[in-house]
Structure 1
Amino acid sequence: MNATSRSAVIRQPQDAETIGAGKPVSVRLLIDSNEAGGSSSTVEVTMARGADGATPHYHTLSDELFYVADGELQVMAGDKIVTVGAGGALVVPKFMPHAFGAAPDSSARLLIALTPGVERHDYFHFLERLAQGQATPADIDQAQKDYDNYFLDAPQWWAERNANRA
């Protein structure tokens, strides 16, 4: 396949759907795997000061790139919990447990890209339905498989997050 056989995928700001606008955490759906020929899935996440982003989980198919555009992001990556400031980035390899939230004294805005891509935008629609009571916790097992997002217990993450709230 040569470089000219695929087209560039472009999403203008006004064309990106936002889930959770006006809430402590919002997600702008940028470009999904089906649009990018499977190469990546991208979203922009905005979190209010100290807001929790994603609970501890891992992926089996993709590495995950985080680029912090504004503020500070607190991240669990494996057994490390670190804070990454604006302009910083990290890559979490597949199978590594991870979680993230805005640092306790900061808001955060970040770009997340899964590579190779998996269908992620419908995952955020699922989470919205779950929050609105339109999906049940029993649906989570199938959603984990459908969207390659497997939740796990990480007491050290919650201990750190809760200590910062005290």
Structure 2
Amino acid sequence: MNENAPTEPTTTTVPPLAAMLTRHADAETCADPSSVMTLLAESGGADGAGGGFTSYRSTFAAGAAGAPAHFHTRASELFFVISGALQVLVGEEVTVLEAGDFLAVPPHTPHAFAAAPGREADVLFVFTPGMGRFDYLRLLGRVMRGEADPKEIAESSERYDNHYVDSPVWRAALERSA
């Protein structure tokens, strides 16, 4: 072996993602008193390795709570409002997304959402990379229905990359909406 010979660069090939189709009639739903989540598809490992995505659709009753202020360290969260209006916090700013609006929230950015005051919302959510979040969504539904202890959500923050934070701006926006 010649130690002075140039070395070939090492490449790692990530297998391509397979096409995925979820028929509406076959999609799992998780419901709580004010929203219904339709779990559409997820790919990629539980740690986000290999890329992929997690996608679900949520319909919120008028003025229904969504998620409190939180951030993700490894995933971007994408929002597309299909119909209605969604009130969102991004950083320290609260705004309302209307039907057809798209929002991308990068990692480490505090954000929150709820149906806009007096409005319903139908929203498509996508996380990239995918991280096995369907189990988290199922847990949220169980907690909202009183079937699981809310402590389980706090205990799962690292596993599901969902880190809750205090946001006086978001609290004030919700108080004005009430």
Structure-1-length-normalised TM-score: 0.89
2:53–2:129 contact (8 Å) kept in structure 1: yes
Once the two structures are overlaid, the 10-residue window that deviates more, 39-48 or 134-143, is 134-143
Of the three residues 123, 141, 156, the one matched with 1:128 is 141
Once the two structures are overlaid, the 10-residue window that deviates more, 111-120 or 26-35, is 26-35
Counterparts of 1:46-65 in structure 2, within 5 Å, are 46-65=59-78
* Alignment partners' CA distance in 1, 2:26 and 2:128: 22
1:64–1:93 contact (8 Å) kept in structure 2: yes
Counterparts of 1:1-150 in structure 2, within 5 Å, are 1=13, 6-20=17-31, 23-34=33-44, 38-150=51-163
Q: How many residues align?
A: 163
* Alignment partners' CA distance in 1, 2:74 and 2:17: 23
1:126, CA displacement in angstroms? 1.2
1:34, CA displacement in angstroms? 4.2
Structure-2-length-normalised TM-score: 0.84
* % identical aligned pairs: 37
Question: Equivalent residue of 1:110, what SS?
Answer: strand
Question: Equivalent residue of 1:105, what SS?
Answer: coil
Matching residue's letter, 1:87: G
Matching residue's letter, 1:89: F
| CA RMSD across the alignment | 2.1
1:74–1:82 contact (8 Å) kept in structure 2: yes
CA-to-partner distance for each residue in 1:122-153, whole Å, 9 max, x for gaps? 00111123234443233233211111111111
* Alignment partners' CA distance in 2, 1:119 and 1:160: 31
Question: Equivalent residue of 2:88, what SS?
Answer: strand
2:42–2:53 contact (8 Å) kept in structure 1: yes
- Runs of 4+ off more than 4 Å: 34-37
Structure 1: which 5+ runs fail to align?
none
1:71–1:108 contact (8 Å) kept in structure 2: yes
